[in-house]
Structure formats: structure tokens, C-alpha cells
Chains A and B, each alone.
Chain A
Amino acid sequence: MINIRWYKVLNDLAGNKTRTLLIVLSMAVGLFAVGVILSARSILSRGLAESFAAINPSTGVVRTGETFDEQFLASVRSMHDVQAADARRNLAARIEIAPDEWKNISIFVVPDYNEIQVNKIEPDTGAWPPPEREILIERAALQVIHAQVGDTVRIKLANDTIREMKISGTAYDPAQMPAQLDGTPYGYVSTETLDWLGESFGFNELYVIASNPEDEEWSRQVVNQVKDKAERIGLTIPMTMTAEPGQLPMDDILQAILALMGILGVLSLSLSVFLVVNTVSALLAQQKRQIGVMKAIGGSSLQLLGMYLVMVMAYGAFALLLAIPLGIYGARALSQSMAYYFNFDLASMDIPMQSIVLQGIVGLALPVIASLVPFISSLRISPAEAMSLYRTGKGRFGTNPVDRMISGRNLWFARDFPVRSFLLSLRNTFRSKGRLLLTLITLTLGSATFISVFSVRSSLTSTVDEMMKWFNFDVMITFGRSYRSEELQQLARQLPGVYETDTWQQLTVRRVRPDGSEGSMIYMFAPSPDSKLISSPGLAEGRWLLPSDQNAVVVSSALFIEEPDLKLGDNIVLKLYGDEFTFKIIGVSIGTSFGTIMYANYDYVSRITDRAGESDALMVSMSTHDPESVLSASSALERLYESNGLRVNTVDTMFVERAQAEAIFDTIVSLLLVMAVLMALVGGLGLMGTMSINVLERTREIGILRAIGAPNRGVAQVFIMEGIAIGLMSWLFGALLAVPMSGALNLAVGTSMMGTPLTYSYSVSGMLIWLVAVFFLSTLASYIPARNASRLTVREVLGYE
């Protein structure tokens, strides 16, 4: 037979269903947030690694200027330090995405799509392998080219041939950067189609897996061996690339997101802990009288402790029953949407046991630990005191300076205003200071997270602004080779609407490390230091180029992610057109890791590369900057140069560049917003829990209000105003805490994405949005308990114990 005291526990749980539901819900929301974040983080990290491993990823890429054949590929495969190698043709072409609007596209040609050994491409929808004279598009790229499977698109090749091709399906190529993130779509055709396009077959990209793929340094050496081998047979090597082991191309941004999720996971865990502590202490405060009665009839401290711990654990267990399945569902949904956005498949959606165990600890052990302090304090009170009827609610008021400041004669000046209800609410807020503190901590953390999330969003926008401020031009055209600068500018000025033009050297360079190995490709822009079309409004470190500078470079901060041994003031050896030159880093700009950029003086670069008076990039500033005119001018410029026999390589408009930069950040922002809403929900429920317990504790007080003539509205008002007062205080503290918190988030996101913190921008709009939100949240959180309170009859409440 069950001991009778356990019946009391059961009756307490079942007897007050509203309270049980509220406590369980409060705990469940916190646990849900912890579960979603931790599980999704784990699913994504694991899924990313598995997804990448499944394609047999290359550890290095060697691009050749000329094509090579199967024989050379076979010789690379037979190299001692090469585990596997494969090759493709990468054809630079243009695709028409709207009438007369062309976009760069990389078209891959693979002889046998079913026999790919390295960087495997998988069928997705439609035809497989690509049928003759038709094209497959990478699945994430369809949205970028505004097309559907079955559509016919026009493709323009470097030799100006234009072909119409049907999109016969989609392919899945996780080794490529998702098209929406770098703006480059990918297509796949057969060797027969290549022939039809007027190009003879041959490879120009070699994918290599080093014998020890986990060792990045070794991989780099192997890539250099392959490069040397290629050069020995007369091939030129415009680019080599070494991948970090086990990392997909968008790893930087995903790592930033995972880092962010880690931080938010810890935050939601703290929120959840405070929520649990808050709820449990409120519950115990409410049970103080019953504890007194049980002590009076001989209940030992140990017996009482056991009873209440079981009760608290029961709440935790119910909350876990809700939070675990919902958390699993939420984590899977979040992981799936992220994987979809970053274009990788999740082989497994298994929830990590650690996440569930952690939820279990938070849900079961923490409430027990949390209840010990208030429980011990309630045991100290004598039975007589605990059972005393001479009380109207918990908490002593008037015993400390804060209380005294808002009572007594101090507010007597307001006597001629009907503000007593407000005073009652204000002072009630400070009545149970321990609970107020816990509620404030919970809500303040929620507030600070919400405002910080908006600040990170605002900082991301500021960072994009900062990056784009550099460019005072609307269109940038790069050419297949260098042309006379004068000729390029003269042609552009013929076009109506062109306001200003400038020509730069634009080349790809690589760092040559002290050990002789080469780094990844870096875009070097060499404008004149006095160019009006580039400005350096603010550098992360150092200074901008001066006309007198010779071998000076300003590098983007992202370089330091790849080359961590470098810093401002260091010398850097760069390989330009096959020759090595030493430059000095004099400034650091903010930039993403997608395409590291550096700037050098035109005069110096054109001199050392023997291209004085020549340029291969043209910048154009238009008199009107709206997207429509810029787009139409860019198409007109492209036609103009082509009709004059100049080979245009790429045409980029700044508003598209900006949109792409923002697209990268949008994912982070969306994720952050989901988290912010979740935090707001946890905070709101915490407040609702507190307010409900406050109402329960002050039931007798409600009776007095009723007895002296308070209408329903009057009773509800007291509690709603108290809720709002707590909400507003948390807003104020949260707005202050958001300053360092958003700084830390900016550092985490910025460092992992760009090697430098984001340009800090505190979101005033986020602060104001949260002010409105917290006002409504507090009103709502206190409205329900207040409404219930106002429905109680006087006899019910005065008879309440």
C-alpha cells in the first residue's frame, strides 16, 4: 500500500490542474528550446561530415590553362602520394536568365557520370546522365537562373556561340558552393554536347585526394607535386586549391551558424534553468502553509523533503514527456531547412543521446537542486508562522531602501491622482524579491538575446554597407585579357548615362608560404590610389594605399582565416603570373571568406607585370543608380565591347553583389530570428508562471480588493500592471545586457566568417520592437491569471487557504 503522503503528492498534482499545466508548460518550453538547438546542432554537424564524406571529397584542385587528356590523369593517379584522382572539363559560359540578361555559369563535362571517383555528382531529378544537347542544372542553382526543369535556356560560350538547351533534370553536387550563396550556377553536360557546343573535349580541372587526406599540410604538398607534374608537361596552372580536411565549401558560414547555435544553446539552457528555479521556488512558497501544517502534525524534514522532491520531479518528468518529442520534431525540421538551404543531404536524422540526457538532467535534476534552497528556507519557518492567517500574500514589503523609496511619504505628491492601483502593482512587484529577481533574470536573458539577435542582424547589414562603401561604381566588367586602358574607357564613355569610368588591373594571385607551398587563390585589384571609384571609408586595421606606395597591399580580413600566421605589417610573398613578389600588408579591410580580396597600387602592379597602360577590369559609375538602368547599361556595355572585338569575361553589378552578400547573411538572420522568438516564448511563459503564482498567493488580497469595491477590471489591472512593470524592467536590463552580448555574438559570427568581428551596430529598432513585444507579452502573460483572479468571488477568496 502506498504511504498516505504520496497520495497528497498525487492529489496536489491532479487537484490543481491549471497550476500543474502551467508549471509543466513553463518547464517544457525551456527544455524544448535546449533540445531543438542542441539536437539540430549535432544533426547538422554530423550530417555535414557524412554528406561530405559520401562524395569522396578532393583534398586539392589543380586548374590548368590548357586541356589535358586521360593519359595525364592516369599518370597523376599512379603518383605515390595520390590516393585517388579525377578530372573534369570546367567550361566558363554565360546563361540568359532574362531577356538580354546574362549570368556566368560553370558547365562541367564528365565523360562518365556514373564512374566519378572524386567529388561525386549524384542524380537528383529528371534525366541522368545528361542527355545529348541538353543540360542538367545543380539543384540549388535553379532559383538563381529563374528556370525550371523542362525549360529551354540560351547558353553563350566564350567563342560567342549561342545554343538553346533544354534543362532535362537536376543534379546534386555538394562539392560546389550553393549557387544562391556565391551567385554562380552550375550545369552538367555530356562530352557529345560539348562537341555540339563547338569545343573539343579535354580536361582542365584535376581533383586529387592525397594519401593522407586528414593532413592539410600534406595535401598541400601533394597538390604542389601534381602542379609541378602538370607544369613539366607544359601546362600552365592559373589556380590550385587545397581544402581543409572534411569541409564543404560553405563550411565557414555553417561553422558560424553552428557556433551561434552553441551560444544560443547555452543561453536557452540558462534561461531554462532560471525558469525551472523560478517555478519551483514559487511553488514551494505557495506550499509553505501546508509544510507548516505537516510539521505541526509531526512530519520530519526528511519526509517532507522527499515528498516535495518527488512532486518537483513529477513536474519535470511531465515537462520532459512534452519537450523531448517536440524537441526532436523541432530539431529535425530546423536541420532539414538548414540542410536544404546549404544544399546538402542529411543521411541520418538520429537525435544524439547526449542532447536527450542533457534535457533529462535539466528537467529532472535541476528542479530538485533548485527546490533545495527554497525548501530549506521554508523548513526554517515555525509551523505557527507558516500557518498564520494574519497575512495577505507572500513577501515582506517596506524592509529595504528600495521599498522605502517607493512608499511612505515619498509618493504622497501623487495623492491627487487616482494612482493607488498603480502603486499597489508597483510595490507588489518588489514584494517577493527573490522571485522578482529570478523572473527578471529569465526575462532579462530573453530580452538581451532578442535585442542581441537584432543587433547581429543590424551589424551584418552594417558590415555589408561597410564592404560595399568601398565601391563607388555600379558596374564592373572584367575582360579575357588586358586591353589598353584608354580604349576601354573611351568605349564606355560612348554609352549614354555613363558618369565616370576607371580601369584597374585585376588578377588572381596566390601566397607563397615560407615553406614554398602555395595558398588559395586571392583576387588582387590594382586601382590607382586616387581613383574616385574606390574609397576606403574605414579599415579594420592599418591604412589605405597612397600614391607613393610601391609593394604595399591592403588585404581583406578573411585572408587571416586561411593564413593565420600573417598579420598587419608582415611581408607576404605573392605569385603573379608565375613570378614571386614580396608585398607588405599595410591595411586590413573587412571581407567574407568567399573570394579573398587584396588591393595594390596600379602603377606598381602594372609595372611588375609588364602591363603598363593596360587594364583588364573596367569600373563604370552611372548617372542614375536604379537597378533597372544599371542592368540595362551593363548589358549595353557588354554588347558594345563584344561588337568591338573585346572579350568580356564577367559583368557584375553592385546591387546584385550586395544582394548576394546579404543572401549569405540572411540565413544567419533567419535562424537568429527563430531563436529570438523561442527565447521570447520562454521568457513570456516564465512571466506567466510567476504571475499565476503571484495571483494564487494573493488570492486573499483579491478578496479584500473585491470587498472594498474593486470591479473585475480593477482587480485585473493590479496584476496586469505588475506584469508590465516586471516586463519593462527586464527590457531595460536586457537592453543594457545586449551591448556586451551582441558584441560577443558579433565576434563569434564575424571571426568564423570573415576573420574579424562584424561592424558593430546596436539595433535600436530591435530594442524598440522588443519594448512593444515585452509590453504585449507581459500583458498577455498576466492577463490570463488576472482574468481568473477577477472571476473569484469574495467568499471564495477570503475562505481560501
Chain B
Amino acid sequence: MMAAKTAKKRSPLKSRADHSPNGRLVDLHAVKKIYRSSAGTFTALEGIDLQIASGEFVSIIGKSGSGKSTLINLISGIDQPTSGEIFVNNVPVHSLKEEQIAVWRGRSIGVIFQFFQLLPTLTAVENILLAMDYGNRYPVSERAEKAIHLLELVGMADWAHSLPGTLSGGQAQRVAIARSLANDPLLLAADEPTGNLDTKSADTVLELFDSLTREGKTILMVTHDMELARRAARTIRLSDGRILDQKVND
């Protein structure tokens, strides 16, 4: 409650820093999420406490309905908790309004979806540039060069002017990763990023994640595949909306 009041006094969007003071980029306290529908109530998350340090690569694993997608959605501001507090880089995400969240997310979080979700009428590079236009982090004159650079980073520079419909699944996901990096976010939130890819493409995506982590990016990845989850530095296992255990991978 106190946190919410504090958030109202200062603009939460201005609180961005490269690192939180205590080293924790993501900080969740007693986060609960209940869905209400005509069929009744469903508790998706039950009192989650979780911290993720800056530069960490964390995977969340669990069965279908365990609450893993809900958790990543709450952290990236795609959904709001029923109760509890969520701080990302000290920003009280739980108390932001939808409009504020969109702007904050555009600058602070890079979202990667299972089905890539590239805009089909924009070319690969334009998809990245659109995110840059919304984020408004870089001067307009620098955006095109940076966007091309990001495509080079994911090995897709040759397809910069291709429409998403002409790309394979793996290529589209690499472009989606480049787009998620458009505004140099603190955190990449990836929900089943390899769920729709063949093994080879999935490997490429994970290699990309590894290299991004080495460069200091914080990555939070949801998966149901234990093998993939082990590629992260830490794996959090969810079951019935609770954290079952956490394991640091070798």
C-alpha cells in the first residue's frame, strides 16, 4: 500500500536505472492472482515471493495451468496482480495504470511470444523501428542504423526488408528477439519462445539468449521443457500457483 502511494508521488517512468540499488531487478512480494469467471474463481498464483538479480537468466517451468505464464505476464505488466507487490527496477508495476504500463513496458521490457507476433504488414526492420518509435529512446536519425545492427546481432540483416509472412518460424522468432531489444530493455520476458520452433531453430534462439546474458541482459523465460529450462542459470519450478522449488543450474 505504501509502495503504491510512493509511486503516485513520483513518476514511475522516471525511476529507470540500469541497476536497482540492491541488485534485484525483479522483486515480487506475496503476489496473488485470482481469475473470476461465471464458472467460479480460479487461483492462478498463490502468494509468490521472488527476486531476480540483474543480468540473471532465469527459466520458469511447470505443467499446464501451473501459473508460469501468469507469472511472466504479471512481471511484464501484461496482467495485474489481485494482491501483492511487483517491482521491476524499483518501479511498482502493480500500481501503474494500463496506459503507463504500455509506455513503461515499451522502454523497459522486451516481450517475446511463442507465436512471434510480428506485425504482418511491416518488414522485419520496420517491426523493430515501430517499437523504437513508441519507446522514443533514441533520436529518430539513429534508429534505422540501430535496427539494422540488431538484425545483424540475430543474424537476420539479409531479411531486413522482408515481410514476416515470407520468413520461417525460426527466422521470425529471431526478428522478434531483435524487436524485443529495440529499446535496450532491462529485462527480456519470453513466454515459450521455442514452443513453435524446430530443434535447430530453438538452439539458435537459446544461443542468442546465452550471448545476451553474457552482455548483461536479464532474461526470464517460461517453458515446459526441462531440457531447455536447464540452459538458464536458475530454474524456478511452479505447481498449482506456488513455487515448488528453485534450482541453480550448472
- The chain A residues found within 8 Å of chain B, CB to CB, are 389-390, 392-393, 396-398, 407-409, 412, 415-418, 420-421, 423-424, 427-428, 431, 700-701, 703-712, 714, 793-795, 798
**Residue numbers in B under 8 Å from A712 (CB-CB):** 99, 102
- The answer for the CA separation of A371 and B183 in the assembled complex, in Å, is 46
Q: Provided the pairs A415-B144, A707-B117, A798-B78 are in contact, do residues A420 and B122 lie with their beta carbons within 8 angstroms?
A: yes
| Complex Cα gap A608–B130 (Å) | 88
Q: Does B56 contact A (CB under 8 A)?
A: no
A407 vs B144: C-alpha distance when bound (angstroms):
16
Question: 26 A–B contact pairs at CB < 8 A?
Answer: A397-B120, A397-B163, A398-B120, A398-B163, A407-B121, A407-B123, A415-B125, A415-B129, A416-B141, A418-B140, A418-B143, A421-B130, A421-B133, A424-B121, A424-B130, A428-B121, A704-B113, A707-B113, A708-B105, A708-B106, A708-B179, A709-B103, A710-B134, A711-B99, A711-B134, A793-B79
Q: Which 3 A-B pairs have the closest CB atoms?
A: A709-B106, A427-B121, A415-B144
- Does B85 sit within 8 A of A, measured CB to CB? no
**B166 an interface residue at 8 Å Cβ cutoff?**
yes
**B165 x A709 contact (CB < 8 A):** no
Chain B, range 102-137, C-beta contacts under 8 Å to A: 102-103, 105-107, 111, 113, 115, 117-123, 125-126, 129-131, 133-135
A798: chain B residues within 8 A (beta carbon): 78, 113
Q: In angstroms, how far is the closest chain B Cβ from the Cβ of A396?
A: 7
Question: Nearest chain-A residue to B114 (Cβ)?
Answer: A389
Cα distance A82–B164 in the bound complex, in angstroms: 87
Contact between chains at A706 and B102 (CB < 8 Å): yes
Measured between beta carbons, the chain B residues less than 8 angstroms from A421 are 130, 133
Q: Is the CB of A418 within 8 A of B78?
A: no
Q: Is B202 an interface residue (CB 8 A)?
A: no
Tell whether, in the assembled complex, residue B121 and residue A397 are in contact, meaning their CB atoms are under 8 Å apart. Answer: yes
Is B163 in contact with A795, judged by CB distance below 8 angstroms? Answer: no
Alpha-carbon distance between A416 and B145 when the two chains are bound, in angstroms: 10
* List of B residues within 8 angstroms of A701 by Cβ: 119
Closest to A420 in B: B130
Query: Is B134 touching A708 in the complex (CB atoms < 8 A)?
Result: yes
Residues of A within 8 A of B162 (CB): 408
- With A420-B122, A420-B130 as contacts: A711 and B165 at CB distance below 8 Å: no
Residue of A nearest to B117 (CB): A704
Residues in A neighbouring B73, C-beta threshold 8 A: 795
User: Chain A residues with Cβ under 8 A from B196's Cβ?
Assistant: 390
Q: Given the complex, which residues of A lie within 8 Å of B125, measured CB to CB?
A: 415
* In the complex with contacts A416-B141, A708-B182, A709-B135, A795-B78 CB distance below 8 A: yes
Contact in complex: A417, B163 (CB < 8 Å): no
Query: How close is B97's CB to chain A, nearest CB, in angstroms?
Result: 10
Q: Assuming the A-B contacts A398-B165, A416-B144, A795-B79, are A708 and B111 also in contact, with contact meaning beta carbons closer than 8 angstroms in the complex?
A: yes
Tell me whether B117 and A794 are in contact (CB under 8 A). no
> Which single member of B76, B99, B113, B126 contacts A420 (CB below 8 Å)?
B126
Question: Given the complex, which residues of B lie within 8 Å of A420, measured CB to CB?
Answer: 122, 126, 129-130, 133
> What are the interface flags for B134-161 relative to A under an 8 Å C-beta threshold, 1 for contact and 0 otherwise?
1100001101100000000000000001
The residue of chain B having its C-beta at the shortest distance from the C-beta of A710 within the complex is B134
A134 to B129 CA separation, bound complex (whole angstroms): 86
Q: Tell me whether A709 and B179 are in contact in the complex, defined as CB-CB below 8 angstroms, given that A421-B133, A431-B121, A795-B79 are known contacts.
A: no
Determine how close the nearest CB of chain B comes to the CB of A512; give it in whole angstroms: 75
Interface residues of B in 71-88 (CB under 8 A from A): 73, 76-79
The answer, yes or no, to whether B98 is at the interface (CB within 8 Å) is yes
B207 to chain A, nearest CB (A): 23
Q: How large is the interface on B (under 10, 10 to 19, 20 to 34, 35 or more residues)?
A: 35 or more
A709→B105 contact, CB < 8 A: yes
Contact B141 A709 (CB under 8 A): no
Contact residue among A397, A412, A424, A710 (Cβ-Cβ distance under 8 Å from B165): A397
Question: Across the interface, do B107 and A709 meet the contact criterion of CB distance under 8 Å?
Answer: yes
Q: Bound complex: CA of A704 vs CA of B162, how far in Å?
A: 19
Q: Knowing A708-B179, A710-B106 are in contact, say whether A427-B122 is a contact too (CB < 8 A).
A: yes
- B4 vs chain A, min Cβ distance (A): 19
What CA separation (Å) do A416 and B132 show in the bound complex? 12
* Complex Cα gap A459–B218 (Å): 71
A418 touches B133 (CB 8 A): yes
Q: Which residues of B contact A407 (CB under 8 A)?
A: 121, 123, 163
Supposing A408-B161, A417-B140, A427-B122 touch, asked if A708 and B103 sit within 8 A by C-beta, the answer is: no
In the bound complex, do residue B134 and residue A714 qualify as a contact, i.e. CB atoms below 8 Å apart?
Answer: yes
Which A residue's beta carbon lies closest to that of B189?
A707
Interface centre among B76, B107, B115, B125 (most CB of A within 10 A): B115
User: How far does the alpha carbon of A423 sit from the alpha carbon of B102 in the complex, in Å?
Assistant: 21
Q: Which of B77, B98, B107, B162 has the most CB of A within 10 A?
A: B98
Partner of A415, one of B76, B78, B98, B143: B143
Q: Given that A397-B165, A407-B123, A706-B102 are contacting pairs, would A390 and B131 also be in contact in the complex, using a CB cutoff of 8 Å?
A: no
Neighbouring A residues of B117 by C-beta, 8 Å: 392, 700, 703-704, 707
User: Within 8 Å CB of B134, what residues of A?
Assistant: 705, 708-711, 714
- B39, chain A: closest CB distance, angstroms: 15
Q: For the complex, what is the distance from the CA of A463 to the CA of B240, rounded to whole Å?
A: 83
CB distance from A536 to the nearest CB of B (A): 60
* Closest chain A CB from B56 CB (angstroms): 22
Asked if A707 and B122 make an inter-chain contact with CB atoms under 8 angstroms apart, the answer reads no
Chain A residues near B141 (CB-CB < 8 A): 416
CA distance A704 to B98 in the complex (A): 14
- How many angstroms between the C-alpha atoms of A714 and B133 in the bound complex? 10
Partner of B122, one of A390, A417, A424, A794: A424
For the complex, give the distance between the alpha carbons of A795 and B107 in Å.
19
List B contacts of A396 (CB < 8 A): 165
Please, how many angstroms separate the alpha-carbon atoms of A432 and B68 in the complex?
Answer: 36
A81 CB to closest chain B CB (Å) equals 80
Question: Which of chain B's residues 188-219 have a Cβ closer than 8 Å to chain A?
Answer: 196
A712 CB, min distance to chain B CBs, angstroms: 5
Please, how many angstroms separate the alpha-carbon atoms of A714 and B136 in the complex? 12
CB pair B161 A711 closer than 8 Å: no
- Cα A793 to Cα B74 in complex, Å, equals 13
Contacts of B166 in A (CB 8 A): 398
Neighbouring A residues of B103 by C-beta, 8 Å: 709, 711
Min Cβ gap A706→B in Å is 5
Given contacts A711-B102, A794-B78, A795-B79, contact A416 B120 (CB under 8 A): no
Point out the residues of chain B lying under 8 angstroms from A704, CB to CB: 113, 117-119
- B163 CB contacts on chain A under 8 angstroms: 397-398, 407-408
Question: Chain B contacts of A793 at CB under 8 A?
Answer: 78-79, 98
Q: Which chain B residues lie closer than 8 Å to A706 at the CB level?
A: 102, 105
Report the minimum CB–CB distance from A418 to chain B (whole Å): 4
Closest to A429 in B: B121
Residues of B within 8 A of A392 (CB): 117-120
Q: With the chains together, A418 CA to B179 CA distance in Å?
A: 16
Closest to B131 in A: A708
A420 → B minimal CB distance (Å): 4
A-chain residues with CB within 8 Å of residue B77 when the two chains form the complex: 794
Known contacts A398-B166, A416-B144; can you find 20 more A-B pairs with CB under 8 A?
A390-B115, A390-B196, A397-B120, A397-B121, A398-B121, A407-B123, A415-B144, A416-B141, A420-B130, A420-B133, A423-B122, A424-B119, A424-B121, A427-B121, A427-B122, A708-B131, A708-B182, A709-B134, A712-B102, A793-B98
Residues of A within 8 A of B120 (CB): 392-393, 397-398, 431
How far does the alpha carbon of A393 sit from the alpha carbon of B120 in the complex, in Å? 9
B203 to A: closest C-beta gap in Å: 21
CA distance A195 to B14 in the complex (A): 99
Task: Give Cα A393–Cα B144 distance, bound, in whole angstroms.
Answer: 27
Chain A residues whose C-beta falls within 8 Å of the C-beta of B130 in the assembled complex: 420-421, 424, 705, 708
For the complex formed, measure the closest distance between the CB of A433 and the CB atoms of chain B, giving whole angstroms. Answer: 13
B143 contacts across to A, CB distance below 8 A:
415-416, 418
1/0 per residue, CB under 8 A from A, across B2-40: the answer is: 000000000000000000000000000000000000000
Query: What is the minimal beta-carbon distance from B73 to any residue of chain A, in angstroms?
Result: 6
**Which residue of chain A lies nearest to B76 when distances are taken between CB atoms in the complex?**
A707
B131 & A709 in contact (Cβ 8 Å cutoff): yes
